[in-house]
Amino acid sequence: MRKSRIAPWAVSLLLAAACTLAGPVATAAAPGIAATGYVALGDSYSAGVGAGSYLTAVPRCLRSNLSFPALWAAAHSPASFSFSACDGAKTGDVLKNQLGPLGPRTGLVTLTAGGRDAGFTSVMAVCVLGGNGMCRSAVAKARTAMDATLPGDLDRLYSAIRGKAPAARVVVLGYPRLYQLNGSCSGGLPDAERSALNDASDHLNAMLAARAAAHGFTFVDVRKAFAGHEICSAEPWLHSVDWLDLGESYHPTASGQSLGYLPLLTAAL
C-alpha cells in the first residue's frame, strides 16, 4: 500500500491554520532562563547606609541587611539576589560598576540614583558649616547643575539597564524630604534653609519620575510615606547630622528602610 506524502509546505499551512483556530499561543521561556532574579542597584539609600547591621564581605561598600532590597529579598525569596548598591555611587558609578549581574534571568531591578549627582552631600556640608546665605546659594547651584547634566546621565543609565535586562521590571525609587518644617528641632538650620532643601528634593524627584516614565520604568515616590517622619519630627526615619558618624547623616534609619521604602516597593510590584 502506498503511503501518502504531504509536502513540507502543506504541513506548515496546516500547522498555521491550527494555531489560528486555537488562538494566540504564549511564547514559553526557554528552560532555565525564567526572569525571576532580583538585582538591587544604586547609592547609599539602596545600600542601607544608616540602617546598621552592615555586611562585611565588600569593605568598600556599606551594605546593610536591614536595607529595603535585603528585606524584600528575604521576604520573597527570588531565584537569585544580587546586591550591587554601594554608598557614594553616582549614576556613572552604577553604570560602570554595578550592571554586571543583569541579564536575561533578571526579573526585577530596583534603583536609587541621582542624589549624589545632585551634590546633596556637599550641599549639606555647606549648609551645616557655612551659614544660611551660603546654604541657599549651594542649593541653587546644585539645582542648576542637576538640570544641566542629570537627565542625560539618567537616560544613559536607564538605557543600559534595559539593554542588559530586557525582561526585568525596573523600579526607580525616589528620595524623601529631609525636614519637617516648624518641627521639634531646637537648633540647626532655620526653616527657610530647610524649605530650600526640601524643594531641591522635590525637584530631583520630579526629574527622576520623568526620566523613569520615558523609559517605561516604575517610579515610586516615597515622600508621602516619610511625611511626619522627617528630621525635626516626633518620630524621624532619617538621621540628622551625626558628628560621630557623618556618613550616616541624612540617611534613612532602619525604620525608614522597613516602614518607609519596603512597603512602597512591595505595593509597586
Lookup: cell for 33:
532562563
4 is catalytic: no
DSSP H or E segment with residue 41: strand 37-42
Measure the CA–CA gap between 89 and 159, rounded to whole angstroms.
Answer: 18
Amino acid at 210: A
Among candidate residues 159, 251, 255, 258, the one labeled active-site is: 251
From the DSSP assignment, how many helices (H) and strands (E) are in the chain? 10, 5
Q: Are strands 81-83 and 37-42 parallel, antiparallel or unpaired?
A: parallel
Q: In Å, how far are 66, 180, 260, 268 from 176, measured between CA atoms?
A: 18, 11, 9, 17
Q: Taking phi first (over 0 means left), then psi (-120 to 50 degrees means alpha), and beta for anything else, what does residue 32 get?
A: left
Contact partners, residue 179, CB within 8 Å, separation at least 6 = 189, 191, 194, 195, 197, 198, 230, 231, 232
Among candidate residues 44, 46, 64, 82, the one labeled active-site is: 44
44 is catalytic: yes
Contact between residue 226 and residue 33 where contact means Cβ atoms under 8 Å apart: no
List active site positions: 44, 251
